[in-house]
A and B are shown apart, each in its own frame.
Chain A
Amino acid sequence: MFALLKTGKSLLLLVVLIPFLTIVSYVLYVHISKTKVDVFNIVQKYIISEKITLMKNFSDHLLKEHSTKEIYFLRDFKHSKHYENALRLVKSSKAEYIYVLYKDDKNVFRYLYDATEDDEEKAEYNQRFHPQTDIWSQAYLSGKVQIIDQSKLDGLWITIAYPIVLDGKTIAVIGADFTNNIYLSVVDTLSPIEQLSLYISIFMVIMLVLSYILFFMYFKTRKRGFIDPLTKAYNRQYLNTFLETNSLKNYHIMMLDLDHFKQVNDNFGHDIGDVVLKTTVEVIKNNVRSEDVLIRFGGEEFILLVYKKDIKTSITLANRIRDSIKSKSLHVDNNEITMTLSIGINPYPSHAKNIEEAIKIADEQLYIAKAQGRDRIEISDKNQSQTSKRISDVQDAIDNNRIRCAYQPIFDNNTLDLLKYEILIRMEDEDGSIVAPMEFLPYVKHTQVYINLTKFVLDNAMKVLEENTFKISVNIDLQDILNDDIVNLLKERFENKPELAKRLTLEILEHEGISDFKLIKSRLQVLKDLGFLIAIDDFGSGYANFRYLVDLDIDILKIDGSIIKNIDKDKSIHSIVHAIVSFSKSLGIKTVAEQVETKEELDTIIELGIDHTQGYYLGKPSFEFI
C-alpha cells in the first residue's frame, strides 16, 4: 500500500477520493429514495384522510336525507342517477373509481352506484362484484373503514372500503379505488432527482471500476518497463523505484559478473551469449528467495539485493550461486560452455551515502575478485563507507572538471635542457584547495573511478603530445597493466598513433611484490609494442629490486628521491647509487634522479653519470609549461 501511495496525487484520488465520492453518491441516492418513500407516504396519508372525510360526508348526507324506513331506497334504480351524481362530488379526480356496493340476500356483493365516467370501466346497476380481498366483508362486519394496498392489481394502487352504517348495521359500502396514476404522478415528480442521484452513483461506480482497471493496467505496463526483455530479471531502472519504498538497511548488495563473457560472445556469437545470460539468470533465481531482488545492471553484470539475515547467510548464498553457475554447462555445436561468476558483496549498504555509493563498494569488491583471478567472492568491511565517500568525491571532481594535471620538468644532465614533463594528477576540493594524489588515489584503486581517472590523464597526455613536441611521462600502477580495461584503454587511445606513443613514457609504480614475472613481462611487451617507453618509478624505495632490471625489459629507471636526498653527503648512498647506475648502463637502461633539491645533489648525480634530473632545484610541478 505504501508503494501505491508514493505514486502521488493521482493515486490518492483513486484510493481515497473516488471511492469516497462513490459512497457519498450512493448514500445520497439511498437518502433520496427514502425521502421519496416518506414523501409518498405523507401524500398517501393525506389523500386517504381527505377521501375518508368526503366519504363520510357522502354517507352522512345519504343517511340524513332518508329515514330508517326509507332504507330500501338505496336499491331503487330510479334514484341511481341522483346518487351517482352526488358520488361524483366525492371523486376528486379522474385518477380513481368510486362506487357503492351492497350485499344481496345471497351475500353476493353487487354494484349499487358507480360514479365512473368511462363506459368500459363503469359497472352496471346490480352487476355482480367479485371481491378480490375480504376488506368488503370486514367493512360490512366491523362497520369500520378498511384500506388495502392494491398494487398487485393492474393499474390500481389502494382501495378504501367505507361502510355506510345505519343504526349500527352496515347497509352498504362505499368503495374508492385509487389508480396508480396518483402514485405515478408523485413518482414522476420525485424520480428525476432520485434518478439523477442513481445515475451519479452508477457513474461513480463505473469511474471507480475504470480507474482501478486503468490503474491495474498502468502498473502492469509499468512493471513491464522494469523487466529486462532478454533475461526477465529487473532492469536497472527498477532499482530506484524499488528503493523509493524499500530501505537499503534491509538488504545486502551483491554485484555479480560473468567471467570472460566477452569470449563467449566472440567465440560463439551473441545468440549463444544471450542464452548464457538467460541461463545465468535462471540459475541465480533458482537459488534466491522471493524477497531477494535480481537486477540486470548491464551487459553480464547483475545486482542482487539480498534480503538480509546475517553476513554468513549472504556469503553462503553467494557461494551457492557461484557453484551453481560453475556446474551448469551449455552444449553448443559440440562445445561445452562453462561459466564462472565473480561476486562482490557489500553487507553494509546503508552505511553508504546513497545507492550509487553502496553499489560502488560492491563493485570495488567485484573488481578485486576479478583482479585476483575471478570465480571468487569478495566482501567489503565497514571502513569501506569512508572509502566510498572518497570515491564519490573523486567521481564528483571528475564530473565537475576539478581534476587537474600538473607538469614537472625532467632535464637532460649533459645539457641541462628540458627533456620531458611528468604529468602529476591533482584534485581540486570543493573549497578550491589542491589535494595531493596520495590523499585520494588509494581510495579509488580497483574501482571504475580509477579507470575514469586514468582515462582523464591519458586524454590529457594525448592532447599535450599533439599540441607540443616534447615528451611526456605518466604514472601507472603495476597492477594496472594486469587490468584489461586499462590496457585496452591504452590500446584504444594510442594503437593508431605510434608517433605519439613513442613520446609517452609509462612510469610504473609498484606497491606489491610481483608474483608472476612472466605475466608482467608479457603485458609490458604489449605496451612496448604499442611504442611506449617503460620506466620503473621510485626504484629503491619499495618492492622494486635488481631482479626487475634483469627480468623486465624496461627503458628507464627512476631512482627514488629518498635515496637521492643527501647523496652529496652520505657515502654509502653514493655507493648504492653508483652501483645502480653502473648496473643500468650495462643493461642499456637510462637513469633519472628524483627529488633533486640542491646544487650539490645535482653536481653529485651528474658526476655519477645519471642521465636525467627531476626535482625542485630545477623545476617544480606547475599547471603551466616552462
Chain B
Amino acid sequence: MKILLILFLVSTIYAGDLKLASNIFEKIILAISHDTKTKIYIYTHIEAIEEYSEKFNLVNSCEDSDIVILSSVKNIPSRCSSKLLFGTRYKHLKNKKVIGAFFWQKGRPNVLFYRDRLEKNNIKLDSSFDKYIENE
C-alpha cells in the first residue's frame, strides 16, 4: 500500500516537472523559429520532449531538422553542425555553436541565450526573453 502510494506520488510529481519542461521547450522553440511547425531533432535523449512529443514536430535526422536539442555536446554528428543547436546544461554553452540553453540548477529552471550567438544566426527573440539574454 505504502509503496503504491509513493510510486503514485513520485510519478505525478515527475510527470508535472516533465510537463513544465516541455512547455518551456515549446515556448523557446517558438521564440527562436517563430514557427509552430519547426522541425526538431533530439540529440540524443530529452525526456520532456519525447514524453510530450505531440507538441513538437520531431524528425529523425539532423538533415531534416531546423533546431537540434542537445542532451550532450559530445560527438555531435557533423551533419548537425550547420543546424541551430540548443543546450540543456549550462556547460553546453561552452560550445560556441550552441545559441542558448534551458537547464535545471538547484531546483530552479534557467534559460540563457548569448546575444552575439543569436545575432550571428539572425535570431530575434521577442522582448519577453530579454532578461534571459546575456552578453558573452
Residue of B nearest to A122 (CB): B105
Neighbouring B residues of A154 by C-beta, 8 Å: 17, 104, 107
Residue of A nearest to B5 (CB): A195
- Inter-chain CA distance A153–B134, complex, in Å, is 24
Once the chains bind, are B106 and A121 in contact (CB under 8 Å)?
Answer: yes
Neighbouring A residues of B132 by C-beta, 8 Å: 130
Q: How far is the CB of B51 from chain A (nearest CB, A)?
A: 16
- Inter-chain CA distance A128–B1, complex, in Å, is 44
Interface residues of A in 82-125 (CB under 8 A from B): 97, 99, 116, 120-121, 123-124
Neighbouring A residues of B107 by C-beta, 8 Å: 150, 153-156, 177, 179
Residue of B nearest to A114 (CB): B106
Residue of B nearest to A96 (CB): B106
Once the chains bind, are A128 and B106 in contact (CB under 8 Å)?
Answer: no
Once the chains bind, are B2 and A128 in contact (CB under 8 Å)?
Answer: no
Known: A120-B89, A128-B134, A154-B17. A97 touches B106 (CB 8 A): yes
- Inter-chain CA distance A99–B104, complex, in Å, is 16
Known: A124-B90, A128-B134, A154-B17. A116 touches B106 (CB 8 A): yes
B108 interface residue (CB < 8 Å to A): yes
A313 interface residue (CB < 8 Å to B): no
A127 interface residue (CB < 8 Å to B): yes
B46 interface residue (CB < 8 Å to A): no
Neighbouring A residues of B104 by C-beta, 8 Å: 154
A496 interface residue (CB < 8 Å to B): no
Residue of B nearest to A177 (CB): B106
- Inter-chain CA distance A155–B108, complex, in Å, is 9
Neighbouring B residues of A179 by C-beta, 8 Å: 107
Residue of A nearest to B14 (CB): A154
Count contacts on A: residues with CB < 8 A to the other chain: 20
Known: A120-B89, A123-B90, A195-B2. A128 touches B108 (CB 8 A): no
A132 interface residue (CB < 8 Å to B): yes
Q: How far is the CB of A31 from chain B (nearest CB, A)?
A: 21
Once the chains bind, are A121 and B105 in contact (CB under 8 Å)?
Answer: yes
Q: How far is the CB of A33 from chain B (nearest CB, A)?
A: 15
Q: How far is the CB of B70 from chain A (nearest CB, A)?
A: 15
What DSSP secondary structure best describes chain A's contact surface? loop
Encode A120-146 as 1/0 by CB contact (under 8 A) with B: 110110011010100000000000000
B31 interface residue (CB < 8 Å to A): no
Known: A124-B90, A195-B2. A130 touches B110 (CB 8 A): yes
Best-surrounded residue of B89, B104, B105, B112 (most CB of chain A within 10 A): B105
Neighbouring B residues of A150 by C-beta, 8 Å: 107
Taking residues whose C-beta sits less than 8 angstroms from the other chain, chain B's interface range is 10 to 19
Residue of B nearest to A180 (CB): B107
Residue of A nearest to B131 (CB): A130
Q: How far is the CB of A105 from chain B (nearest CB, A)?
A: 12
Neighbouring A residues of B131 by C-beta, 8 Å: 130
Once the chains bind, are A132 and B90 in contact (CB under 8 Å)?
Answer: no
Neighbouring B residues of A124 by C-beta, 8 Å: 90
Residue of B nearest to A127 (CB): B90
Encode B86-124 as 1/0 by CB contact (under 8 A) with A: 000110000000000000111110111000000000000
Neighbouring A residues of B1 by C-beta, 8 Å: 199
Partner of A132 from the list B108, B111, B112 (CB cut-off 8 Å) is B108
- Inter-chain CA distance A102–B107, complex, in Å, is 20
Neighbouring A residues of B108 by C-beta, 8 Å: 130, 132, 153, 156
- Inter-chain CA distance A626–B105, complex, in Å, is 125
Once the chains bind, are A123 and B2 in contact (CB under 8 Å)?
Answer: no
- Inter-chain CA distance A88–B59, complex, in Å, is 45
- Inter-chain CA distance A199–B2, complex, in Å, is 10
Neighbouring B residues of A121 by C-beta, 8 Å: 105-106
Q: How far is the CB of A278 from chain B (nearest CB, A)?
A: 54
Once the chains bind, are A123 and B105 in contact (CB under 8 Å)?
Answer: yes
Residue of B nearest to A132 (CB): B108
Q: How far is the CB of A568 from chain B (nearest CB, A)?
A: 109
Q: How far is the CB of A443 from chain B (nearest CB, A)?
A: 73
Q: How far is the CB of A133 from chain B (nearest CB, A)?
A: 10
Neighbouring A residues of B111 by C-beta, 8 Å: 130
- Inter-chain CA distance A129–B103, complex, in Å, is 12
Encode A294-311 as 1/0 by CB contact (under 8 A) with B: 000000000000000000
Residue of B nearest to A131 (CB): B108
Residue of A nearest to B132 (CB): A130
Neighbouring A residues of B112 by C-beta, 8 Å: 128
- Inter-chain CA distance A155–B13, complex, in Å, is 10
Q: How far is the CB of A118 from chain B (nearest CB, A)?
A: 9
Neighbouring A residues of B89 by C-beta, 8 Å: 120
Residue of A nearest to B106 (CB): A97
Q: How far is the CB of B22 from chain A (nearest CB, A)?
A: 14
Q: How far is the CB of B88 from chain A (nearest CB, A)?
A: 11
- Inter-chain CA distance A121–B107, complex, in Å, is 9
Neighbouring B residues of A97 by C-beta, 8 Å: 106
Encode A571-587 as 1/0 by CB contact (under 8 A) with B: 00000000000000000
- Inter-chain CA distance A153–B16, complex, in Å, is 11
Residue of A nearest to B1 (CB): A199
Neighbouring A residues of B17 by C-beta, 8 Å: 154
- Inter-chain CA distance A130–B111, complex, in Å, is 9
- Inter-chain CA distance A466–B17, complex, in Å, is 104
Interface residues of B in 1-60 (CB under 8 A from A): 1-2, 17
Neighbouring B residues of A127 by C-beta, 8 Å: 90
Interface residues of B in 58-73 (CB under 8 A from A): none
Best-surrounded residue of B1, B17, B108, B131 (most CB of chain A within 10 A): B108
- The list of the 10 closest CB pairs from A to B, nearest first, reads A156-B107, A155-B107, A153-B107, A97-B106, A154-B107, A154-B17, A177-B106, A121-B106, A130-B110, A132-B108
Additional pairs, 15, CB under 8 Å, beyond known A154-B17, A156-B107, A177-B107: A97-B106, A123-B90, A123-B106, A128-B112, A130-B110, A130-B111, A130-B132, A153-B107, A154-B107, A155-B107, A156-B106, A156-B108, A177-B106, A179-B107, A195-B2
10 residue pairs A–B, Cβ–Cβ below 8 Å: A116-B106, A123-B90, A127-B90, A128-B134, A130-B108, A130-B110, A153-B108, A155-B107, A179-B107, A199-B1
